[in-house]
Amino acid sequence: MKANRESSTGGRRAVKPFRRSILVSSINRIFTAAVIAAALFTAVGCNKNKPEEPVATVGSHQITLKQVDSAIKQQIDASGSGTAAAMSPVELTAARLGVLDNLVQAEALFQRAQRDNLVPDDNKVTQEVQKRKQDAGVTEEQFQAQLKQAGLTDEDVKDKVRREMAINALKDREKARVTAPTEEETKKYYEDHKSEFVAERGADISVIAVSPNNNGGDTGAEQKIKAVYAQLRGQTDFATVATQKSEEPNSAIRGGRLGFASEDGLKQSFPALPGVATRLMAMKDGEYTEPLKDGTGNWYIFKLNLKREQAQNLTYDDPSVRKNIVDTVTQQRQQVLLNALMAVSIAETNIKNHLAERLIEHPESMVQMKPSALLQQPAQPQQALPRIVDENQVQNSNRPAANSNAAAANANRPVSNANKK
């Protein structure tokens, strides 16, 4: 079907590529990605499966099997399928060992933050939790339902947020001590990596997204997207409709704007919409598509804001290039300092990894490891729509420290029900 056109206002502008980002579920937005990732497959006490059994002790703090399995279950739910029972005993053991180490590190940092009086009080924690609920677009009813599904309480959330805020305060304090690169250092970085500073062929796009999860099923979603399309055909401004109707809150607040992506980035962003990248690159600036349904049942209408036909070499005179280099080098220096902070925090904390000790004593136990009853429950999918964030930074296509042009990797996930009426 021929693409529709909405006239653009203003002149052509330089479009900066976006940073790769993954939209997590509403409940995961409440918890820091670091805490959730660290708790993905945390350790248990070999094959005993006693919920309150400590698997590690950090100072006076114990990490228990119950905490571990709750975190694992959250990740299973986020993936939308499977159970921990599908893992072999050795895989389960290895995964638990790896993430237990991450949890130990996080606890060591938290205890250092405690010693440095960086732990926020209850009022600040409560305010932060409320802010994150609002940012996530969830009602109190939805939030409580997700807590129940995850087996968590309000106090669990506050504790996680308190720890996250304390650790972030500790890290931010250390990062603030790092100096930015000089002009000479910045220029040298550009000369050493000149071939990497390329603005690739791609497009700046906006979207209106509709999910069956928010509209009583497939029929309701189809009816809504058709009504939205009719509004657009009636010459209603795309950004206005997106703000009012799109069910992806992160882009809706920007009038549906997702940002710039390379052609390959578009393909990675929307794997459940084969051919969408080619389709967008064949359109003209200002045009929008008819409603497109992906393989997971979500509906989209895309608008092409601006297309870059050919890759362009970026020069050092471009302010965005210099900003990118300063940000990249500064982040590298900050990471080195944070690694040192981690090493010192671990060294000054009394740590006992009970799981590792038991495995050394009884190596045969790794082939006997079994998931708890909680982990044998089937996944409770947590719905989420991908987002693409325009960080307004120039792309550096080969270096992970600079902003890649890749879009969100799992953009085929279902739309979040955060905006459900």
Output the domain CATH number for residue 147: 1.10.4030
- CA dihedral (320, 257, 406, 334) in degrees, to 10, reads 50
Instruction: Give dist(CA 315, CA 179) in Å, integer.
Output: 24
Task: Output phi, psi for 102, to 5 deg.
Answer: -65, -40
Does 209 lie in the same domain as 299?
yes
- The CA-CA-CA angle for residues 23, 25, 28, to 5°, reads 100
Q: Does residue 122 lie within any of the structural domains?
A: yes
Q: Do 133 and 241 have their domain in common?
A: no
* Whether residue 272 is found in the same domain as residue 341: no
CB neighbour list of residue 272: distance below 8 Å, 6 or more residues apart: 294, 295, 296, 298, 411, 412
On whether residue 211 sits in a domain, the answer given is yes
For residue 418, being part of any structural domain is answered with: no
Q: 388 lies in a domain?
A: no
pLDDT recorded at residue 415: 37
Does residue 339 share a domain with residue 290?
no
Close Cβ partners of 147 (under 8 Å, ≥ 6 residues apart): 27, 153, 154, 156, 157
Q: Does a structural domain hold residue 232?
A: yes
Residue type, 271: P
**Helix (H, G, I), strand (E, B), or coil: what is residue 200?**
coil
In 60-201, which ranges are E strands? 61-64, 198-199
DSSP run (H or E) holding 249:
helix 249-252
Amino acid at 129: V
Dist CA 361 CA 342 (whole Å)? 28
CB 258 within 8 A of CB 205: yes
Q: Please tell me whether residues 30 and 174 are part of one structural domain.
A: yes
Domain count, the chain: 2
Residue 274 lies in a domain: yes
Do residue 225 and residue 287 come from a single domain?
Answer: yes
306 and 163 housed in the same domain: no
Taking CB atoms within 8 Å and a gap of at least 24, the contacts of 50-55 are: 51/372, 54/354, 55/96, 55/100, 55/353, 55/354, 55/355
Check residue 105 and give its pLDDT.
93
Exposure string for 291-304, b = 16+ CB within 10 A, e = fewer: bbbbebbbbbbbbb
Is 192 a domain residue?
no
| Residues 45 and 133 placed together within one structural domain of the fold | yes
| Domain housing 63 | 26-179+326-376
Of the residues 342, 361, 376, the one at which a domain ends: 376
- The helix (H) or strand (E) run that includes residue 347 is helix 319-347
Same-domain status, 265 and 356: no
Look at residue 101 in the predicted model and tell me its pLDDT.
87
Find where tokens 């502008």 sit.
Answer: 13
Domain co-membership, 115 together with 175: yes
Same structural domain, 330 and 292 = no
In a domain, 421, yes or no: no
Q: Residue 214's pLDDT is what?
A: 86
Residue where a domain stops, chosen among 359, 376, 393: 376
Residue 269's CATH number: 3.10.50.40
Residues 91 and 229 in one domain: no
Q: How far apart are CA 398 and CA 196, in angstroms?
A: 6
This prediction has a pTM of 0.65
Residue 314: which of 400, 240, 397 has the closest Cα? Answer: 397
Are residues 151 and 374 in contact, defined by beta-carbon separation less than 8 angstroms? yes
Give the pLDDT of the chain (421 residues) as one tens digit per residue.
445 555 444 333 333 333 333 233 333 443 433 333 333 333 333 344 565 789 999 999 999 877 777 666 666 666 655 666 677 888 778 878 888 888 899 999 999 999 999 999 999 999 999 998 887 778 899 889 888 876 779 998 999 999 999 999 999 999 999 999 999 999 999 999 999 999 999 999 999 999 998 898 999 999 999 999 999 999 889 999 999 999 988 899 999 999 999 999 999 989 999 999 999 999 999 999 999 999 989 999 999 999 999 999 999 999 999 999 999 999 999 999 999 999 999 999 999 999 899 999 999 988 888 777 777 776 665 544 333 333 232 333 333 333 333 333 333 333 333 333 3
